[in-house]
A and B are shown apart, each in its own frame.
Chain A
Amino acid sequence: MIQFADAFAWLVDPANWPGPNGITARILEHLWYCLLALVLALVIAMPAGLYIGHTGKGRALAIGLTGALRALPSLGLLTLLAVTMSLGLRLAIVPSTIVLAILAIPPLLAAAYSGVEAVDPDVVDGARASGLNEWQIVGRVEVPLAAPLLVGGLRSAVLQVIATATLSAFLGLGGLGRFILDGQAVADYTRMLGGAILVIALALILDGGILLLQRWLVPSGVSIALGTGRLEGR
């Protein structure tokens, strides 16, 4: 418990916050790496997941692929990419972003295709028969109705990425991993623990934030439709 007390003392010490190596800067770096990776993952996983959910094609491939991606050890992959890519060590943000994106893709992809697949086929049929084209069916029917699952996928991706972005420090990047890695190098357990607490706090705060945001991200009609509509059973 002494360590915890020391770690909290370190956290609340104003001297540790400002400056290029301060907590504020490290948090911003950490968030930046995560944002990059999440954007990359979203750009890949959303179109692919929506396509699979909408057409039913490539489902087996997606399941196999996401399973394989989930099994990849992040640290091993990070090292491999860093030393094999020509840019790897000079521009460490590249392998770092790739590794984090690979971590974020499976939950986002699974949420997208399972969310779209879960939409009542009669609703899609009715929309198509009314004259919505396929893009309109995806954009106006499937995505809004899949929104709760999509947000769920985003939450789990954010949690994983925030936690794993600490590894970026191994490539000489910043982020909260710096405290853990640098602390370890000089046996400064207070700093290590402080860094770990910051990672956990950041993850929890972002998760709570998305949860709050869900109210705006999910159209009110969807909550009503999925809340009462399903239970009522047509």
Chain B
Amino acid sequence: MAPDEGRAETALLLRKTRFQDLLDHLVQAGYRVIGPTVREGVVTYDEIHRVEQIPRGWVDLQEPGKYRLRYDKNNPFWFSFTPGPISLKRYLFPPTQTLFRVRRDNGRPRAEAVIPDPPRYAFLGVRGCDVRAVAVQDRVYIDRQGQFSDSYYAKARERCLIIAVECQTFADTCFCTSMGSGPQVQSGADLVLTELPDAFVVRSLSDKGQAIVSALELPPAAPEQVAEADQAVREAAGSMERRVDTTDIRNLLLRNLENPRWEEVAKRCIACANCTMVCPTCFCFTVQEVTDLSGENIERRRVQDSCFNPEFSYAFGTIVRQTVSSRYRQWLTHKFATWYDQFGTPGCVGCGRCITWCPVGIDVTEELQAIRNSDGERGASA
């Protein structure tokens, strides 16, 4: 049986007129629904209750260093936009978290662990790249061969529901097909929706997803509807122009640690850390000691950090990565080379956020190609 046939057999149909029922059911089932919505000129994730909050008809224009939204009242599609700056990282691995508080019993300090109790999130409208990003983060935060498991992430993850919507349009910055993360969603989500002008083809990939569609008593989708939806996604995938050649990319980068290109890109890079903040897989954090004036209330927090900050590499009285070129090299080689060593996958999912949100428009795909084109060249070391 061809995979598409299997997909077709189990595909259900959710009419757009019933989409509010889905939202209502998620709330009744105890979920806090986090979906795409327009705010401050971008499509972001936020809590939504009404179908009107979904950016129906909105289309984004993304280019290196540029993001614009436009509304097309004739567009019957609800999900014609690609990822905005916010990813699920914001919810699953919040930028600031308290780790413990210090209490004193007769002068003896005691660290009281703060055991987080995250909400049951239902993430709606998640794109293939972001579904993959969660799978990548699972390896970072949970699946570390017993080394380490982040309790907040693990709990939030276990409780959450992911409803993906396959992309049928792409921004100029998207390259998910190169990273194998989209636009089709085959795993990692509980429900996968594929949009038609008046309905969604719905597939369930998990028991949690099955429970939702069963409760909604969705009818099966007609084979023609399934074929139409799949065809639209396939055609869109074929139209994606931006590409990364990932052939042997780990070794390519590791043998080019002293390629002169790192200094070239550093002439433009302003080390602002935007790319790491919008990256759905960047996980680095720093720790902060927070105390009041009395010194009695002390807590320790972890806060999202970036390898572009100079102090990030502070050690033995100096900054190890003094130059911007060395920091850019760290970021890019981590995503496309050493991430494989550490977690068995690339650290990039091809969402293109780092390209769009780079204020000077540095394009990661262009940098990778430039390294490939100058493979083996050596310059002054970074």
- Chain A bound to chain B: no
Which residues from chain B sit less than 8 Å from chain A, CB to CB? none
Which residues from chain A sit less than 8 Å from chain B, CB to CB? none
